[in-house]
Amino acid sequence: MPCDPLVESDLCALRPLDGHVGMSGATLERGKLLNGRPIVVKRSAPGADLFQSLLGHRVSLEYRLWEAGVLDRLPSGVGSAVIGGWIDGDGATTLVMDDLGDEILGWDHAFGADDAHRLVTRVHEMHEAHTELPIATTPLEHVVGTFAPARIRSVAPGAPLLAVVERGWEAFGAFCPPGVRSAVTELVDYPAPLVCALAARPSTFCHGDVAAVNMAWRGDRLVLIDWGQAFVGPPTLDIARFLPSGLRIAAVDRDWLIDEYARVAGDRYDAVAMRLALLATLVWFGWSKSLDAAEHPDPTRRAVEVNGLAWWCARAADALELL
């Protein structure tokens, strides 16, 4: 935390961040500090941020991690963009972050072998740092079941997201063998067996949303933003949850990245946890991949997603044997 905490009057020239698209109710503004330092300001309020509510957080977890000093104790090769923040009496939080601008890799970043190796190396270093956590993070049941229709219905029954997720899980049946389909959809509704299996594996502090849109390279240092999904669980879950979007247009494939991560992790690699993490990722995000496979306007993209779902369903079939 800074020696002189930031306050609202330290911020100036704020304007809405152009092009920001997200499912939460958080707002982003771009501006600067009085000394000219470029910043991005993220604001969220209890009940207004759908994603925060789905994850079980009344107050921004990213703010709480920063306030507790957790983000300052990351290993030297990994960093956070947060430089300050505060919480109002009604629980609304404001986070002030360095403006990484065009340094953010973004959804269309194509990972090559060297780039992907650097990524898994830095993420592994973060996992190995065993950062002490004075606060609770996202419960594993919410990590796995974020997009379960029953979860959305209980938290925000009127949210438009509910109809989209339900349509996605309906489409899922067309891309997965019946036995795997029924087992996965049952875990969507009742994830306890999978959550218990994950919790039984060696665990550490994980970012929760390692994605190209949440990362930037500053030299050889990986800067990660959006720590609101952070959890304590098997580190393989961080890697597995990167795969659905991170390698969509990459020069390497899912199997290559898993093998590369295993090489980097060495004797710390947990093959059982990876099998479970791949199943958990399908339970988490299978609805979205199914919508792309069924409805994406680009036929080439639809074909890619259909082939991808075949891979995910095969990994799920393998992991179901562990439950």
| pLDDT tens, residue by residue, 171-203 | 999 999 999 999 999 999 999 999 999 999 999
pLDDT at 91: 81
pLDDT at 90: 81
**Confidence class for position 2, pLDDT limits 50, 70, 90:** very low
DSSP code at position 107: T
In degrees and rounded to multiples of 5, residue 56 shows phi and psi of 85, 20
Residue 102: both structure tokens together: 């065009």
pLDDT higher than 90, residue 249: no
Question: What is the rounded average pLDDT of the residues 296-323?
Answer: 96
Tell me which of 14-23, 206-215, 242-251 is least confident: 14-23
Report helix, strand or coil for 78.
strand
Residue pair 84/96 in contact (Cβ under 8 Å)? The answer is yes
pLDDT at 251: 87
Residue 95: both structure tokens together: 């986070």
User: Beta 93-98 vs 38-44: how paired, if at all?
Assistant: antiparallel
Per the rule left: phi > 0, alpha: psi between -120 and 50, beta: everything else, 215 is beta
Delineate the domains of the chain, giving CATH numbers in brackets.
8-101 (1.10.510.10), 113-320 (3.90.1200.10)
Residue pair 227/80 in contact (Cβ under 8 Å)? The answer is yes
In degrees and rounded to multiples of 5, residue 58 shows phi and psi of -75, -40
| pLDDT tens, residue by residue, 37-76 | 999 999 998 778 888 899 999 889 999 999 999 999 999 9
Question: What is the rounded average pLDDT of the residues 250-279?
Answer: 97
Residue pair 50/23 in contact (Cβ under 8 Å)? The answer is yes
Residue 242: both structure tokens together: 């990167």
Question: What is the rounded average pLDDT of the residues 4-32?
Answer: 82
Question: What is the rounded average pLDDT of the residues 263-274?
Answer: 98
Question: For residue 274, what are the CA distances in angstroms to 78, 197, 200, 238, 241?
Answer: 22, 11, 13, 10, 11
**Confidence class for position 4, pLDDT limits 50, 70, 90:** confident
For tokens 């939080």, name the residue: 93
Helix/strand/coil (H/E/C) assignment for every residue in 51-78: HHHHCCCCCCHHHHHHHCCHHHHCCCCE
The set of residues, in sequence order, having a beta carbon less than 8 Å from that of 297 and lying 6+ positions away, is none
